[in-house]
Amino acid sequence: MTGKVRRTGTHRLSFFRESRKDLEMEKFKNWWKQDKRYLTMTKAVLFALLPLVCCLVYCAVQGKSIGEVYLPGSEWNDELFYYKQVEGIIHYGYPQGYFGFNESHALKLSFAAWSPVLVSPWILWGLLFGWNLMSPVFCNIFLMTLACFLFVWLAGPDWKQLGVTTLLFCLYTPFVRYMLSVMPEVICFSLLIIFYSLVVNYLNREKGYKLFFLFCLSGLLTLMRPYMLLFMLLPAYFWIRKSRWRGLLGSVTVFAAVLGIYGAIKHYLGAEYFAPLFFTDWVDAFFEQGLFGGIRYTLGKLYYMGVSFKAHTIEGFRTGLASGAIFAGYLVMLFILAAQSAKDYASRRALRRTQSDTPRLEALKKQLIVELHLAGSFVAMLFALLLMYKLTEGSKHLLTFMAAGIFVIGRMETRFYKKAVVLGAAFAYFYSYMALDPYDYQVPFAQEERVAQIEQWREVLGEQMTLDREAVPNYENSVIWVHWDQKADGRQNVKWQLLYALPEGFGISCCENEFVMDHFDDLKSRYIATLSDGDIDIRCREAGYEALNRDEDMVLYRIGK
């Protein structure tokens, strides 16, 4: 009898547990269906596949695979610095030799002219998964995948908006080119896309933690590149609108903190570049020539640089000049943002006069905030480009704004797809049809001869070069890369790609030919890589320096007898 009661009690307990579990599952299903999270998740997963699909298709069209991307085959020499610095950080905490230019170096540690914050996602990736020639490529694809997923999850585009965004993403080929590289543009692309996705989410449901993350994202972007301060203005506006004076004081404090940290990083961790990275002569003019003199100087520079900007843009139409093509695409996108902002502003004013359709008014207000902020950022960056940057080098900074613009324009209301058609046609013309220069557009793939050459150098240098671990960083672990040298048949660039073969931890100082010649007898670095049979090679032989390795492209010496 007792056993029977015990079994009945156990059965009832089991029954109640199963009922409660079924009830919880039913609640979960209802919650999931009610908020359409299953549909959002489906969209997010499908859209997140887009970066990988674009890379696979691009490589397949070239008859290659992603695994055949080979960074030492690229002609972008900034990539060497980024790759080797990250390699040194992952293996030793920081490079053991100096990165710099004409043997400059940072006051602290051993980074080049750019903020190490810029490559922080690669550092994290390398610490988790290791670092090799494919690591930055896989990390870039992952970052864009994450950005695409979060765009759908946070911003909630409908199928039509998702289709427009997909089309523009595919036609904007810089996405693929930079994903398959070791340039940090994709890091900025992805963070800014996530930023605007979170802005849309915040506007739909304002929460304090979202505002906190908006400041974190825009602050991180500012530490990477100072002009990204433009995007901190948006969370500052939200905070001021919400809390008035407290928001104003808080925003000023955040701005001051971020700029202070950036200034400290630049001062202590940045090596002096060949020339200023950006120009402030127009600011100096106000102190030297007074208010009106400064205004005259600034307007004159805007005119002069504007003429050059126009010439670049025309060449982008005519010959596909990369900087001009970027300028042209940027202007088309700016026009669309400005036109849509004006249209939405007019629609909102008309609705306010009639005091009708309150939900529509609120939707227009949210949309207008995003569009106006991005359009204003476009205008501000255009002026910054004209006043502070060299046009050719500065053009690539516009790519990040355009990448974010695709996701903002993709969410605009459309009936006949006019905006998507205009922008898509511009992308197709400039970045596919006129993308003729392999230097700017061709993804580097492995070539048997280059791979064999790099491996031969890697093997020899691994045996010949040993890090000096005393008082690091130091010049004992630094290699001079002579940018170019003179041979009997003319001036030639050194094949710097071979420096990917340097052992982990060594620093690289890119030096001009004139600097090396003028300071030949008092160079600080322990090693020098130069053009085989060039003038500097001849001087090194005459000085009795030891050649660690040589081929027809490059020779690397240990300086000193």
Report the distance separating Cα 498 and Cα 73, nearest Å: 10
pLDDT at 511: 96
Report the distance separating Cα 56 and Cα 59, nearest Å: 5
Shortest CA distance to 142 belongs to which of 48, 57, 44, 42? 48
On the question of pLDDT at 540 being above 60, the answer is: yes
On the question of pLDDT at 542 being above 90, the answer is: yes
Q: Name the band, by pLDDT with cuts 50, 70 and 90, for residue 532.
A: very high
Residue 494 maps to a domain: yes
Q: Would you state the structure tokens that stand for residue 290, as one six-digit string? A: 């007074």
Q: Would you state the structure tokens that stand for residue 14, as one six-digit string? A: 């089991």
CA-based angle 425:48:183, to the nearest 5?
70
Percentage of the residues of the chain whose pLDDT score is greater than 70: 93
* Residue 436 or 355, more confident: 436
pLDDT at 9: 55
Q: What is the mean pLDDT of the chain?
A: 92
Reported as half-sphere exposure (CB side, CA atoms, 13 A), residue 24 has a value of: 6
Report the distance separating Cα 420 and Cα 410, nearest Å: 8
Shortest CA distance to 352 belongs to which of 370, 371, 365, 368? 365
Report the distance separating Cα 533 and Cα 553, nearest Å: 9
Three-state DSSP state, 484 = strand
Residue 273 maps to a domain: no
On the question of pLDDT at 6 being above 50, the answer is: no
- Per mean pLDDT, which of 3-17, 218-232, 402-416 is the most reliable? 218-232
On the question of pLDDT at 184 being above 90, the answer is: yes
Q: Report whether 497 contacts 529 (CB < 8 A).
A: no
Preceding amide of 359 cis, omega within 30: no
In sign, the C-alpha dihedral spanning 64, 67, 68, 72 is positive
SS (H, E, C) 32-51: HHHCCHHHHHHHHHHHHCHH
Neighbours of 401 (CB within 10 A): 24
Q: Name the band, by pLDDT with cuts 50, 70 and 90, for residue 2.
A: very low
> For tokens 């001021």, what's the residue?
240
Residue 488 maps to a domain: yes
On the question of pLDDT at 47 being above 80, the answer is: yes
Residue 442 maps to a domain: no
On the question of pLDDT at 1 being above 50, the answer is: no
Q: Name the band, by pLDDT with cuts 50, 70 and 90, for residue 311.
A: very high
Mean pLDDT of 503-514: 96
Three-state DSSP state, 64 = coil
Least confident of 270-279, 440-449, 491-500: 270-279
In sign, the C-alpha dihedral spanning 33, 39, 42, 43 is negative
pLDDT tens-place string over residues 387-437 = 999 898 899 999 999 999 999 999 987 776 889 999 999 999 999 999 999
- Pairing label, strands 507-511, 100-101: parallel
Mean pLDDT of 478-482: 97
pLDDT at 261: 96
Q: Would you state the structure tokens that stand for residue 189, as one six-digit string? A: 């692309």
| Total residues found in the chain within this entry | 561
pLDDT at 35: 53
pTM above 0.75, yes or no: yes
> For tokens 């933690």, what's the residue?
209
Q: Name the band, by pLDDT with cuts 50, 70 and 90, for residue 353.
A: confident
Q: Report whether 238 contacts 202 (CB < 8 A).
A: yes
Mean pLDDT of 168-177: 97
Q: How many domains does the chain have?
A: 2
Mean pLDDT of 520-548: 95
Reported as half-sphere exposure (CB side, CA atoms, 13 A), residue 66 has a value of: 20
Report the distance separating Cα 203 and Cα 237, nearest Å: 12
The residue type at 69? V
Q: What is the DSSP letter of 323?
A: H
Q: Which domain holds residue 17?
A: 2-34
Q: Quick one: how many helices (H) and strands (E) in the chain?
A: 22, 8
Report the distance separating Cα 257 and Cα 116, nearest Å: 18
Please give the full DSSP string across 494-513, using - where no structure is assigned. --GGGGGGSPTT-EEEEE-H
